[in-house]
Amino acid sequence: MKKIVQLILVCFLFVFISGFKPGDKKWEKPFSQLDREIRKNSKVYQSLETATKTIGHRLTGSNNGARAEEFAFKLLKSYGFSDVVYQPFEVEAWMRDTVTLSIAPGSSDNFRDVEVVSLAHSPVEAKIQGEIIDVGNGLPEDFEAVKDKLKGRIALANIGLVGAPGKKNLHRSEKTALAIQYGATGIIMVNGAPGKILLTGTASVTGAIISIPAVCISSESGEEVRKWMKEEAPLEAQIDMRNISKSIKARNVVATLKGKSEETVILGGHLDSWDLSTGAIDNGIGSFAVMDVARAFKALKVKPEKTIKFVLFMGEEQGLLGSKHFVDELKKSGKLDQVSYMMNLDMTNDPKGANSFGRDGMTEFFKTVGNAVQKVDPNFKNELQNRAGLHSDHQPFMLEGVPIAGLSGQLTPAVLQCYHADCDDFSLVDKQQLESTVRIASMYLYALSTSKKLDAAKLSDTATRDFLISQGLKQELVIGQEWRWGK
């Protein structure tokens, strides 16, 4: 009995001194190895810099997009992956051409040009004129409040939320869908970033061409228009646009690290970007982090329990096209049930914690992993979130009941204001923070891929429905035409 007590005391003292709990002690050595490897040999900053300088934007379906796919393929090959493949898909894709926006008091022909950019999936050709109706934040209640005025007119809506504490915002595509539902002939979105920054992005919930023109103006222009409306209402707007929609070929890039089983963990991020800039932040920092995690695993000859797939998705910006195709192919092959977890890096930067995406059974797991990360990197805060969201490449997996993981990072307001804008370039990338993303993501991936059992199984169809409702996502999915469970 005395020896047992002594053994317990020794174990207690070891845990107390080392800082590692019994549950996270098994990760001490591999986490430290990953941390050292990435701090010493990371290629993420250099490879992203090279890509932005030599390729430019990475728009799906463009020559630049194809060059980005080839760049990722060759980079993963250079890291020692023999099993790297293209996963081709063919879809209808949208590209911008020309657009103008002119505004004048309703009683005048003295139109003023306003700087504007088309939102993706606007019509191939549109020329409209109509009175502007301000729908504020563009939430369902805002549209309902002006439903008798909006039909046959042009909606003006904020992309972000203004003066609406506690309210949940909608995606720009969902606001456009509401504008169409309420009979608007067009929609003008006001960017939330200060100054003259213009934002692009899709205005379609399905990735198909929408029936009305959708454009974005700057915050500064939005303030001027609203001031003008107060002084000289009503205002008339003219929108004249030309765009291109055609069938394009694109390729996801997939590298596989074989595990002891066919059970699979996916680490993914979208490689594509919009065409106004080089997309260094959205999503260069995420997709190139995925590739550098892959490099580190190969360099350390990690032998995971589960098979790992490192996936660079194309077409995310144009409607999650690549990830939807990836999931469809898994379903067709009967391999979707093998996917035990999907971790998505989309604009993830300098992570301070993890998001278990509403899976309560995994909260303790992520907390334990975070404790282990903290022992290697004391600057890691281990801040836990447990809330699911939409509009990135995890979504197609989540809608099929696959457990999702995310990392909660931070970007400064000065960087965030360049989201989908022409100022999203490599000068915004912080080397230390980017390498931190690689380090932290590698540790979480290691834990997910080497743990024999995780307390989060793939949900049944009914359980997936109930989960999405519990996360408050039904309304957005209904508006986005992705709710398959009826009323």
Cα(316)–Cα(324) distance, integer angstroms: 9
Picking from 244, 269, 297, the residue at the C-terminal end of a domain is 244
pLDDT at 31: 98
Residues 196 and 159 in one domain: yes
pLDDT at 9: 41
State the CATH number of the domain containing residue 235.
Answer: 3.50.30.30
Name the domain count of the chain.
2
Label the pairing between strands 383-385 and 353-355: parallel
Residues 290 and 203 in one domain: no
Closest to 236 measured CA to CA, from 115, 89, 114: 114
Q: Is residue 13 included in any domain, yes or no?
A: no
Per residue in 109-132, pLDDT (tens digit) is 889 999 999 999 999 999 999 999
Q: Is the pLDDT of residue 299 over 50?
A: yes
Q: Is the pLDDT of residue 11 over 80?
A: no
Q: Is the pLDDT of residue 438 over 60?
A: yes
Residues 234 and 125 in one domain: yes
Q: Is residue 374 included in any domain, yes or no?
A: yes
- Residues spanned by the domain of 444: 23-83+258-479
Q: Is residue 200 included in any domain, yes or no?
A: yes
pLDDT at 183: 98
pLDDT at 5: 40
Q: 305: buried, middle or exposed (CB in 10 Å: 19+, 13-18, 0-12)?
A: middle
Structure tokens, 27: 């990760």
Residues 223 and 286 in one domain: no
How would you classify residue 347: left for phi > 0, otherwise alpha for psi between -120 and 50, otherwise beta? Answer: left
Per residue in 185-195, pLDDT (tens digit) is 999 999 999 99
Residues in Cβ contact with 253 at an 8 Å cutoff, skipping those fewer than 6 apart: 69, 72, 73, 76, 84, 85, 86, 87, 271, 311, 312
Label the pairing between strands 154-158 and 125-134: parallel
Percent of the chain with pLDDT over 90: 90
pTM: 0.92
Picking from 192, 214, 244, the residue at the C-terminal end of a domain is 244
pLDDT at 108: 82
Separation in Å, CA 177 to CA 118, 183, 192, 210, 367? 16, 10, 20, 9, 39
pLDDT at 23: 55
Cα(272)–Cα(317) distance, integer angstroms: 7
pLDDT at 452: 87
Per residue in 61-97, pLDDT (tens digit) is 999 999 999 999 999 999 999 999 999 999 888 999 9
Residues 146 and 223 in one domain: yes
Cα(221)–Cα(184) distance, integer angstroms: 21
Beta strands in 345-403 (DSSP E): 353-355, 383-385
Q: Is the pLDDT of residue 245 over 90?
A: yes
